[in-house]
Chains A and B, each alone.
Chain A
Amino acid sequence: MALRVDLQIISDWIPDNAHVLDLGCGNGALLKHLQQRHITGYGLEIDNSKFSECIQSGVNVIQADLDAGLSQFADQSFDFVILSQTLQAVKRPDFLLREIMRVGKQGIIGFPNFGHWQCRFQLGMRGKMPVSKNLPNAWFDTPNIHLCTLKDFEKLCGQYGFSVVNRSVVNHEHKDTLGIRLLPNLFGQIAVYLIHNGTP
């Protein structure tokens, strides 16, 4: 089965034999894929049915709530800590980001870009909270409670002294366009960052 494109981007950044922690690992597809390259590690997942899928595919999965932090893991105990499409759904993204960089040597964070022009248009011109393919829920029932733009995220990283080693910004078809290359914060819908403690 083909890997979701954002997961493919993440996979390409991880070298063979690495030790990883995948936060909100979903059905375990990424970890399963990485196993072929002798990449070991754990997934954390709270959703019952996704958790069961992980067990069925034979990946190490721990039922845990990301809002509780990562206190069960020692400092710098993983080569990479991955958080894909989940940052916006946690109670304190700032706290989790610091936890990620405490337990991981590098962090890989993917999230929907709230600075995309469609979001700006819906809020700025139509005066309504944005609803899109990436953010399909209404404001009152969305799990996405802490949305941010590329600029916001980079600023937060800067505040904590995390530097961006690599960045991939794509549209909802996970394609890179000229517009995205020129104005990523306006045209990019999904961003994936590779970040590092201190200067790269």
Chain B
Amino acid sequence: MSDSLPADSVGLVTPSHLHIDTPLALDCGRVLPQFDLIYETYGTLNEDKSNAVLICHALSGDHHAAGFHSLEERKPGWWDTAIGPGKAIDTNHFFVVCPNNLGGCKGSSGPNTVNPQTGKLYGPDFPIVTVADWVKSQAILADSLGIDKWAAVVGGSLGGMQALHWAITLPERVGHALVIAAAPKLSAQNIAFNEVARTAIKSDPEFHEGRYQEFNTVPRQGLGLARMLGHITYLSDEAMGEKFGRELRSGKIQYGYDVEFQIESYLRYQSSSFVERFDANTYLLMTKALDYFDPAKEFNDDLNEAVKAIQAKSLIISFTSDWRFSPLRSLEIVDALLSAGKSVCYAEIEATQGHDAFLMPIPRYIEIFASYMQQVAKEVNG
């Protein structure tokens, strides 16, 4: 980062911290007697507290959605393409809140934080949390900020699932739900990919049943492998072809097992940098939260029934080359909302980038996203 920040950046940001002493009962039956949430905010909360937007992060995301922590930081927050002054989620109009989810590894209570009851790291003993648990904890955060109702709850992928869950379970607290590149539940294939990722982590000899930190080690191989697999599912064949093709690193075939093709080098780089910034237990936990997500389950597996309580207006967006959560999966949500007579818009964006497209500044995507949020801004700011 240079000494000047881009004009459309939220600029330098400092995370905030919330400690909650009220016990939180979790879906798994266990109770968190106390917990901490780390979160960031951008923009200004208006007087009647009606312009707040909640950003829900995906599997490997965190609370740092936009701006920079320091002038030295090389990359801005993970959704800086969509959040900032004049951007789709315009911080001139909205007060944006993004927490790190429970079970995460970036400062909210999770496997790599200290269990206040034992004084030791939670590690694998941190309870498995679900999307519903996250929504509950995010509602507690909203209460602490005095926000009765979000102007919008926005998320992509696993974040989109949280937005959908918010709209279903706390209908009076959501003005708009933006559910991007998501699905109403995982398919068997999605769960299968997650299981391979978990197996990679758990079979690493350095995993030590999740107590690797007590052994001063990290299951690098396993977590890296999980990330490689994940990464393949986030990209499309087309995107990989465009970016790497069959290009060789040294220009000719070596007839060996070292890195030869550029794609191999890219995957190794992605996995090694991920291992530096992410926790293996959190990865296990996040994939479980994905697997368990199924808001229709409580309604006899009828999604049409599940969405009946929704009061929010929704924007559902999918991407043509996304094969992790394909447009058909988004259409399941759209069809349920239509059958329930709910207010909904749906856009399918032509994109070659696969599932990752939701993080990219694709012009048509951003245009629709921004136009929709402008309508939301008009509603709340008059």
Interface positions of A (Cβ within 8 A of B):
19, 40, 42, 48, 51-52, 54-56, 58, 60-64, 72-74, 77
Contacts and interface: CB of A to CB of B under 8 A. Distances in A.
Given A61-B345, A62-B344, A56 B374 contact: yes
A56 B334 contact: no
Contacts of A54: 345
Contacts of B341: 19, 40, 77
Contacts of A63: 346-348
A74 B339 contact: yes
B30 interface: no
Given A42-B338, A72-B335, A73-B338, A62 B346 contact: yes
B331 A52 contact: no
Interface residues of B, number: 21
Contact of B375 (A42, A58, A62, A64): A58
B347 A51 contact: yes
A72 B343 CA distance: 15
Nearest to A54: B345
Contacts of A55: 315, 345, 347, 368, 371-372, 375
Contacts of A77: 339, 341
Contact of A72 (B338, B374, B375): B338
Contacts of B374: 56
Given A73-B338, A74-B339, A56 B371 contact: yes
A60 B315 CA distance: 9
Q: Which of A19, A42, A63 has the most CB of B within 10 A?
A: A63
Contacts of A74: 339
Given A51-B347, A52-B367, A62 B334 contact: yes
B19 interface: no
Given A64-B346, A72-B339, 19 more contacts: A19-B341, A42-B338, A48-B364, A52-B364, A52-B367, A54-B345, A56-B371, A56-B374, A60-B343, A62-B334, A62-B338, A62-B344, A62-B345, A63-B347, A63-B348, A72-B331, A72-B338, A73-B339, A77-B341
Nearest to A59: B345
23 contacts: A48-B364, A51-B347, A51-B368, A52-B364, A52-B371, A55-B315, A55-B368, A55-B372, A56-B371, A56-B375, A61-B346, A62-B334, A62-B338, A62-B345, A63-B346, A63-B347, A63-B348, A64-B346, A72-B335, A72-B338, A73-B338, A73-B339, A74-B339
